[in-house]
Structure 1
């Protein structure tokens, strides 16, 4: 695995969990390998996608909906590398990606960094984060 790689869960017992992602957001000091239940993607051009942006993008409602559409199965839900590769990934300019990621990181910190004694605040910030994440990561579809 390398900086910027995206790791997808290839198989799950539920549609909501299949295709969940993690992104390599730091340089690795030792080799890390994928197991057979994961699918790894590496952007063709490392300068097209900011890893901090990717980590929010692939968990946004828009991208999750696209990923779920690629899934199939009954007892085990699976996604294939071939079908995932056909998903359209929005590519705003890098400065915009970085601004979006910085804003979402800040909201995420407010959401997940609060003490357990503030459940109402946590719930409000989570909704705020999800709202802005989905607004910032919803793009007009490109003409065919």
Structure 2
């Protein structure tokens, strides 16, 4: 089912709208994605380049001789991955979508660098942000200021 989805960076400087045709996404475990996101994997949604409309283009970093990554220079949010060879596709970071709940991981890439202990964390203790009182206190303090 085709749907228009929106997203952007944490500070709101860079925003996009994209036509998404399905709910497939993937996890890239390659070392470059790990370094680019600061995580153990990058969650990515591949889309057609011409399906993306930017209110402001991201800044770009040539992360290798064959690819570049879009990000917000103001807040640092990673936004895209794309090859430099004129590919008609690009990848958007799942976390940059305003509501990524529609997207589902359907594949892994860069498996040679995966960290198995981080993939199935179902049995770890769960704590909601609003249940962690020190954090709640910090938000209440700035709200009341």
TM-score band by shorter chain is under 0.3
The answer to which structure, 1 or 2, has the higher relative contact order (CA under 8 A, 6+ apart) is 2
TM-score relative to the length of structure 1: 0.24
TM-score relative to the length of structure 2: 0.24
Larger radius of gyration: 2
- Higher helix proportion (structure 1 or 2): 1
- Higher strand proportion (structure 1 or 2): 2
